[in-house]
Every structure is written in structure tokens, then in C-alpha cells.
Amino acid sequence: MTERDTLHLVDGSGYIFRAFYGVRPLSTSTGVPTNAVTGVARMLGRLLKEEQPSHLGVAFDRPEKTFRHQLYPAYKANRDEPPEDLVPQFALVRRLVEAMDIPVLEIPGFEADDVIATLTRLAVERGMQVVIVTGDKDLMQLVGDRVTIYDPMKEQRIGVAEVHARFGVPPERVADVLALAGDTSDNIQGVPKVGPKSAATLVAAFGDVEAVIRGAAQAAKPKAYERAVVEHQEAARLAKRLTVLAADAPLGLDLDALRYAAPRAERLGPLLRELEAFSLLRDFGWSSAAPAEATPGDTPAPAAPVEGGIDRTRYRTILSLSELEAEVQAAFTAGEVSVDLETTSLDPTRAEIVGVALCVPGRAAVYVPLAHRYLGAPKQIPRPEALACLRRLCEAPAVAKLGQNLKYDQIVFAGAGITLAGVRHDAMLAAWVLDPARPSYSLDTLAREELGHETIRYTDVTGKGAKQIGFDEVPIAEATAYAAEDADVALRLCRHLHAKITAAQLTVYDELEIPLLPVLAEMERTGIRLDLTALRRLAAELEQRLAQVERRAHAMIGEPLNLASPRQLAALFFERLKYQPVKKTKTGYSTDQEVLETLAREHELPGVILEHRLLAKLKSTYTDALVRMVHPLTGRVHTSFNQTGTATGRLSSSDPNLQNIPVRTEDGRRIRAAFVPEPGWVLVSADYSQIELRLMAHLSADPSFVEAFHQGEDIHLRTAREVLTGGAQPTPDQRRQAKAINFGVLYGQSDFGLSRQLGIPRLEAEAFISAYFARYPRVRAFCDQTVAEARERGYVTTLAGRRRFLPDLTSKNRNLRLAAERVAVNTPIQGSAADLIKLAMIRLAAALRKRRLRARLLLQVHDELVLETPAEELAALTEVVRQEMTGVAQLSVPLIVDIGHGPTWADAH
């Protein structure tokens, strides 16, 4: 053993909990929770890769009582039982460590920290370096010249200087500070009136606990905390015995037994496949297939979703019409096919087809190049003949179509005169329904995380940056490997993910999201007309007003300043003008919207800055951008509706985002006035009236809410009378306050948030909320029950059965936990509203076809649908819209739809 040898000791017990709360909920297809074991596996894998330890061990607590319990029976008695989903993972983590060939370190009667302390002492005595892998402050008492702490979750290394900076004392005195201050996590009481700062002061002044007791007793003018030390000196001594780590635990282990090499595929691979941790298999450099050297008794790998492994050498290029016809016939025989297009643009309304990839179950995937244009490219099937052959397949509803982001392919096909019928599965949508908080739904990510397969990336074949080429310039052999793999992987993912959806009984996928996909595709392809003259006129006016506001601000400041610079504004407000700071970020004092609104209550200048920001945003985001985004051929703007854009189920829109145009300002209305119908047509706006409050009434079954909606009352006036005025007629301001409370409850707003919104004292806001729940107890019961059930199950559901997982409901961080509780209350309401309007869109699109009306769905914005119709069909359309939107669900309160029409969107709304 040499001085270069380093012993890495992992606090296994601590990391199980950190991984559980730090990794989103995960489970196998059979329902076994795996987030904690996955998190520990990632941490250990990263540790092996980055640290390359020569010696390694993972320490665990034992279930038996320890010597500390004998000293103090209430030791750790305040700890809650571990979450239900964590309990089965304790054994899985132990199996993981053993499968990685890492020594498991534990001693009956001692904690993991004592094991680490003992091994640290032995290693230092042998001249080794020691790295303790932990986030536990108790282990900081072991830090020294040869001992450091590494916290991989925070990417933080802690040495003697860092310990001194945190505790105000050297590492060997950390246990004394912890003893005097107490440790609530371990139920160590310490000394009353002594906190971490006063404890550090005492220890720095006198020494260890015994020296502190003597020094406090001899103080001429003892402070309150010094008198407390003398009065509770036995408690201080007991706390020290509980806090100091035992470095003499009976290990019976030689340090040479901790020498480490690397994990072996034949041991670790089967466990990772059992856990369906395919991305970890890739991280360790192994494929998702079973290892050739698997030993008897290993858990077999789950069945592949499609026969055979992913083998790019089997993919074929189709260059003749007869071969394409054979592949199309095979798809008809199989009854399903995976489809993937390669095109010239990410914008589906402007994209031209370069090639088509197909994957029929049981066959190798193929690529049909149509428009590869590079020197030496082989002759390809003439485009008209190829598309005619593909049309027969694409337009056959009896052949199920599978793929990834098929809405894009549907729009591109439509541009080529082909209707993609029979859309059955979409891997992106399936992954989102299973986990709407997933950070990415790209095919590359899903293949890696769900199948353990690393795909060829687009930039691998096209290059990047200035040297990037179009896909039509990619050699056909490379294009085939890339495109056929996409179709192959999409087919496997669709089957794999739909099995999970079926097991979880998430019918929202088959009954709502898949049927909505072609509706959205048609809306995106249709687009909406713009009055460009009106937009350009408004843009010029905004430019003038911006200049006026800027001159006004500069006059107030006394010099020119970049009003768009947060750094310059922060310096102006908080250094020069001495405004009271509102909040601080890592880079300094914030000047965001919330801060400016707060400052504007007391100062004039922040209000001017707010006005400048609003005008600048309207001009850059809408008046300027919309003009640029008009399609040169259609003369319309074509937004993209994102099904996977939110965790609640609501649609979002992008390029451009049409859902955030201000509706309560004159400028916002003027922007909406630039959206116009076809000549001779009218725009129709259909908006659910107070849909979220109606859903609150239905879900809570509060009799007062239900009665108000059945009577057609103004719900905000009624709330004002019953909560704020004691039955008297409310003023307009009181109705405004009641409206804020009604909607605040939906979003779990706190008294602090309500006080800021209404500009009233916090105690008054608290009294409003208390009076509200006293008057509407069923609403309070609904909120409490929803949170309780979500905490137990780990997720909330909407009326359609959509799930949203909320791991922070069990977080130790109070702010995270409260935020999760607010989301738990809001999601069933906002998510159910999203479900209803999606269902309305599906029903309405079908009704328009059935009635043979020419009207077209154009936009969906929150609770509103925008259509255009020939003027002569307006009455018939209004009847259909009202019937379909009010009939989507049978609630305990009526669904009301406000329908308007006019020559512009502003007039119709």
C-alpha cells in the first residue's frame, strides 16, 4: 500500500434518502419503485468514472439499536417512518452495491458513520488518503490533512478550511459545537438557548465541551447561553457522547479487502435489466442485451418489444418501385407500420420530403430516398410514383401508424397531398403521458433511457454549425442507417411504452391524446390570417411610445441608461437610489417583474421601467415577430401546438406563442384585432365560462358553490357577500378581492401571496382566507383530501385519469413541500379543464365533418377555441359549438360557453 492509494468511503445510508428525494419517481413496468436505487447507481457510477478509487467501500446502518440508544433511549425517536416507496429499495440498493463488487460495510450496534470513522482512522495510520463521500455534517469532524469530504450531488469538496468556515472551529471541535447546539435530526437536545453561532463562539473561546463548562462557570458576567451551559452541563456531556463518532468499532476487516477494480457486466448487468435501468447499462458501457457470460440463476432480461436486437447492418435502402410495393404489402399484412420522414425543414408547413423510413414488425427497417441530391447519388424512385405507392399505405386507416412526433409527419404528408390515417401510437406522447415532468421526450433520449440504446444523432450525419449540410446531401448509405434506425426505435418504443400505459390504465392516451393529434395537425396546417397593415401600424406606434418612455426614464434618472439591463437597473435602484432590495439571486439583486411591481408601490421610476418592458415585449414578441412569421405561400401564421409542453395537460403554443397575448390591455386587444378570417368569413370565439371554478364546485361538492352556478349567479359577488361583507351588497373593489380569493384557492395561494396581489396587510389576507374556508368547508376538505391522497400515492389525477407525479410532497424542504401541495390542489382542476377542452376539440372536429360545415378550428388558447366560418354558416356553427362544448362531460354544475363572432379575433372574443 502506498501514499498514492486513496480510500473512498461512501455514506450509503445517507445517499439512499438523498437519491430518493432527489430523483423523480421511477418504477419498473411491474410497479417496483426504483428512483432511490437508480440515483445511488448513478452516483456510484460517476464516482468510479471521475475518482477512480484504488480502495472503496459503502457503509450502511444496521436495523438494530446502537450503543447510543443505550445511552439515550430517545435517540432518533423523532424520525418518521420511511416513505412507502422507499422501503423496498433498501434491499435493492444493497443488492446493487454487492452486484458492483463493492464491499458492504456494517457492524451491529454501530452506525454507518462509526464504521466510516474507524476505517478513516486505520487508513490514515497506514499513510493513505481518505475521501468520505457524503453530505452529512456529522462526518465533517473526521476531516484532516489526509481526509476530505466529497459531496457529488453538490459537486463540493470539503477540507479543513471549509469546515472552519462553516462551523467557526477546526474539524476536531465540530462534535463539541454539534453537542452544545443540539441536532434535531437525531433528537439530540443539546443545551437550551445555545444555537450554532453561540456554540461556535463558546468552543472557539474555551475548547471542548468540558472546557466550555468550566469557562462558562468562571465567567464574571455570564451571558444567558453561558448560564444555560452551566445549568444543563449534564445534557451537554450526554450530547457530546452521542455526537462524537466511534473510531474504534470492531471491524474485523483488513484495508486490503477494500481494493477495488471495476464492476463486472455478468454480475451488475442482470440487476440493471431487472430494474429496467437501460440508461445505466449504457452508462456502464454495456448494451441492453443479456451479457454473453451471464451466470445461471441471473434474472433474465425482459423480452424485447420487437423480435431481434437493433442491428443497423440489417437495414435496407429501397431504390425500386417493386421493392417499395413489397414493403407496403408487408405493412398491410402486418396491420401496422412505423413511419418516419426525413425533410428539408423543422417547420412542417415549409418542409419537403427527402425520404421515408418504414419499419414493419418482424422485418428489417427500410429507407426510401426520394430527393437526395449530391454528386454520385444513385437513381431514386421517381417522386410521383413513390408517393402514389405510399399514399395507398398512408391513407389506409386499417393499417396502424406508429412513430415519434407523428403530428409533424402528418402535416408534411398533407403538404404532399397525402392524408396520414390510422395514427395509433406516438412514442413522444406515450412517454409524456407516463411522466409529464420528464425533461426530454426526444427519440434519442427515450431510446437511451427506455431501451438502453444509443442512436445515431442527426448531427452525426449532417454535421454542425457553418459546415452543416442538408439531409438531401447526406450519402444514402448513411441516411439509411440514421432514418431506418429512427423508424425501428420508434416502433420498439411505442410497443414498450404502451405496455406501461396499459399496465397503469392510463386511458387518457388512447381516448384523448392520440385522437387529438390529427386535430392539432389540421389546425397547424390551416393557420390564421393576419392584417399586416394593422400590425405594421401598431409596431410603428409602439416604437414611438418606447422612445417617449425611454426619454421620460432618462430624465428621472438624470442620465442615459440601458433600461433592458438588469445589472444597470440593480445598481441604480439599490446602490445609487438606495431602494429597499426585494430579493437576491446568485448574480446580485433581482429586478424581475415581481420586484419592479413591488418597488412601484412606493417609487415612480420602477413603474416607468415596467411600462417600457411591456411595450418592448409587445413589439418584439408580437408586432415585429408576427410579420416575419407569415408563411410566404399561405399568407397565414402557423403556430405549433405542443401536446407535451406542460405537466398539467394544457396545450402550449410556440413559433409564435399565441397564448400569452395580453387580453386586458388596449395594446393586447389591438394585437388580437390583427387576426382576421378569410374574406367573406367571420371569426368565432367560444370560451368556457369560469371552467376552473365550476370544476372546483364539482370536485368539492360544496353546496354553496354548486347552488351559485345552478342559479346563474356571479360567483365572485356571492363570495364577496358571504365572506367579506356579511351579506351586504359588495363594492366593485370587494368583488375584485373575492375574485382574487376564489382563484387564489385554485392555485393554493398563501396569505403572503394574496396580500401582495391585493396590496393589503398579510394579517388581513390571512383573515380573508380563513373566512373563505369557514364559509366553504367542502372546498377546504377537498384541498386537504387531495393533498393527503397525493402524498400517499405520489401523484394526482384529473377527471380523465391523467397523472402528475409530485415527489416534493414528502420533501424535507418546507418551501418545496408547500409548493408541491399547491400544485397538488391545482392540477386536478387545471388539468381537468385541459382534458375537457381537448375532448371538445375532438368532438367538434368530428361534428364539423359530419355536418359538412366548412368551418375550421384555428386556435386553442387556454379555455377558448377560435374558429373561422363562412358568414352564411354562422348560425349552424354556433349551434354545433355550443352543443359539443357543453356536452363533453356531465358535471354537477352546468358547463356554460360564451360564443362571440366578428371580423377580428378581438371583436369575436
Q: How far apart are the first and last CA of the chain?
A: 79
CB 120 within 8 A of CB 126: no
pLDDT digits (tens, 9 = 90+) for 282-335: 667 664 443 333 333 332 233 333 345 788 999 999 999 999 999 999 999 999
Beta strand 864-870 pairing with 681-688 = antiparallel
Q: Which helix (H) or strand (E) holds 130?
A: strand 129-133
CA angle 468, 472, 474 (to 5 degrees): 60
CB 797 within 8 A of CB 828: yes
Structure confidence at residue 747 (pLDDT): 73
Q: Which helix (H) or strand (E) holds 775?
A: helix 762-775
pLDDT digits (tens, 9 = 90+) for 103-144: 999 888 898 999 999 999 999 988 899 999 998 888 999 999
pLDDT digits (tens, 9 = 90+) for 166-190: 888 999 999 999 988 888 778 788 8
Rounded-to-10 torsion of CA 556, 560, 564, 568:
-90
C-alpha cell at 492: 420498439
Residue with cell 474539524: 171
Task: Measure the CA–CA gap between 769 and 761, rounded to whole angstroms.
Answer: 13
Task: Measure the CA–CA gap between 204 and 485, rounded to whole angstroms.
Answer: 65
Residue with cell 462558562: 216
CA distances from 477 to 344, 377, 897 (A): 18, 10, 55
CB 306 within 8 A of CB 278: no
* pLDDT of 706 higher than 80: yes
CA distances from 637 to 267, 627, 787 (A): 57, 9, 42
Q: How confident is the model at residue 219 (pLDDT cuts 50, 70, 90)?
A: confident
Q: Is the peptide bond prior to 73 cis by the omega test (within 30 degrees of 0)?
A: no
CB 27 within 8 A of CB 149: no
Query: What strand order describes the sheet that includes 636-637?
Result: 636-637, 528-530, 675-676
Structure confidence at residue 231 (pLDDT): 84
Task: Measure the CA–CA gap between 60 and 315, rounded to whole angstroms.
Answer: 49
Structure confidence at residue 828 (pLDDT): 94
Give the bridge partners for 675, in sequence order. Answer: 530
pLDDT digits (tens, 9 = 90+) for 397-442: 999 999 999 999 999 999 999 999 999 999 999 999 999 988 889 9
CA distances from 734 to 702, 729, 740, 743 (A): 22, 9, 10, 14
pLDDT digits (tens, 9 = 90+) for 62-111: 888 888 888 888 887 777 777 777 888 888 999 999 999 899 998 888 98
CB 105 within 8 A of CB 57: yes
Task: Measure the CA–CA gap between 298 and 48, rounded to whole angstroms.
Answer: 24
Higher local confidence (pLDDT), 736 or 353: 353
pLDDT digits (tens, 9 = 90+) for 570-580: 888 888 888 88
Helix residue spans in 620-702 (DSSP H): 625-628, 666-672, 691-700
Supply φ then ψ for residue 121, to 5 degrees. -60, -45
Task: Measure the CA–CA gap between 681 and 409, rounded to whole angstroms.
Answer: 30
Task: Measure the CA–CA gap between 717 and 694, rounded to whole angstroms.
Answer: 15
pLDDT digits (tens, 9 = 90+) for 742-753: 888 777 777 777
For 627-753, list the strands marked E by DSSP: 636-637, 640-642, 652-654, 675-676, 681-688
pLDDT digits (tens, 9 = 90+) for 713-740: 888 888 888 888 877 888 888 888 888 8
pLDDT digits (tens, 9 = 90+) for 628-666: 999 989 999 999 999 998 888 999 999 888 888 887 788
Structure confidence at residue 35 (pLDDT): 86
Contacts 24+ apart (CB under 8 A), 147-154: 147/120, 150/8, 150/51, 152/43, 152/46, 152/47, 153/18, 153/22, 153/43
Q: What is the largest CA-CA distance in the chain?
A: 104
Q: Is 145 helix (H, G, I), strand (E, B) or coil?
A: coil
